[in-house]
């Protein structure tokens, strides 16, 4: 007898500034999709558990310094080292929720205003990585972010960096037409309802989309 091929999983990326509510929304989405009968995994970048991830973690905590281009390539390498396992999970029918991805990668590095580290340069090492089926950008104003409490102690968690990151996310997502912008300045419930609707549409269209694509 013939076996029904496994329906592939969906690659879902959630992006946004610090305090936009990414982690809470990823958890709510995981619970929602599990209740719908999906086999779900929630991962995040940077993955601080690998050897490369440990270098990134010390850099973010400020206990180590790295040259701008060098740390950028480590963030990218941290995605490349997991690319195979992402592809395998998707092929095995697992739906992956990914907290930050190549978009954060390009934007945070370009926000340093290093003259030889443009958004274009920063995007190059991402080319060829698994392309998300849907990228949800949790958009929050500087004022709303400020209301949600102070910055953390890690590198990049300061007003001037966050302002540049916000502008660059906007620039990047004006070019990437396939991003789903969600107004994250509302209640958890309102935001999660929009996310669920967008993800459900995406999952429903998966058969017409075909296999997992790669970032270009």
Residues between 20 and 59 that touch ligand TMP (CB under 6 A): 45-46
DSSP code string of 139-199: E--HHHHHHT----SSTT-SHHHHHHHHHHHHHHHHH-TTEEEEE-SS-HHHHHHHHHHHH
Counts for the chain of helices (H) and strands (E), in that order: 9, 5
Instruction: Find the angle CA(5)-CA(128)-CA(173) to the nearest 5 degrees.
Output: 105
Quick check: helix, strand or coil at residue 31? helix
Instruction: Name the minimum Å distance from CB 80 to ligand TMP.
Output: 11
* Residue 104 near which of ligand TMP, Mg ion, none (CB within 5-8 Å, type-dependent): ligand TMP
**Alpha-carbon distance 149 to 167, whole Å?**
21
Nearer to Mg ion, 161 or 212 (CB): 161
Nearer to ligand TMP, 21 or 105 (CB): 105
* Residue 46 near which of Mg ion, ligand TMP, none (CB within 5-8 Å, type-dependent): ligand TMP
In 3D space, the residue among 93, 112, 114 whose CA is nearest the CA of residue 165 turns out to be 112
**Alpha-carbon distance 95 to 136, whole Å?**
15
Q: Which range of residues in 5-13, 102-110, 137-145, 191-199 is near ligand TMP by CB under 6 A? A: 102-110
Binding string, 9-38, against Mg ion, x = CB under 5 A?
---------x--------------------
Binding string, 115-144, against ligand TMP, x = CB under 6 A?
------------------------------
**Alpha-carbon distance 191 to 169, whole Å?**
19
* Contacts to Mg ion by CB under 5 A: 18
* Contacts to ligand TMP by CB under 6 A: 45-46, 60, 75, 100, 104-105, 108, 156
């Amino acid at each position: 007898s013939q076996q029904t091929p496994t329906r592939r999983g969906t690659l879902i990326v959630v992006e946004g500034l610090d305090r936009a509510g990414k982690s809470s929304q990823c958890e709510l989405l995981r619970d929602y999709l599990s209740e719908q009968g999906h086999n779900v995994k929630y991962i995040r970048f940077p993955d601080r558990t690998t050897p490369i991830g440990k270098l990134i973690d010390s850099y973010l905590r400020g206990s180590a310094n790295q040259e701008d281009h060098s740390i950028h390539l480590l963030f990218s390498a941290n995605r490349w080292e997991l690319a195979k396992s992402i592809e395998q999970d998707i092929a095995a029918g697992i739906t992956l929720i990914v907290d930050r991805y190549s978009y954060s990668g390009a934007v945070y590095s370009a926000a340093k205003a290093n003259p030889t580290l443009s958004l274009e340069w920063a995007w190059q090492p991402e080319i060829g990585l698994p392309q998300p089926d849907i990228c949800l950008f949790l958009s929050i104003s500087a004022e709303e972010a400020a209301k949600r409490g102070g910055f953390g102690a890690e590198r990049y968690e300061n007003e001037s960096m966050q302002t540049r990151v916000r502008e660059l996310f906007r620039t990047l997502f004006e070019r990437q037409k396939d991003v789903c912008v969600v107004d994250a300045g509302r209640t958890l419930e309102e935001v999660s309802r929009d996310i669920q609707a967008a993800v459900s549409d995406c999952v429903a269209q998966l058969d017409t989309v075909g296999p997992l694509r790669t970032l270009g």
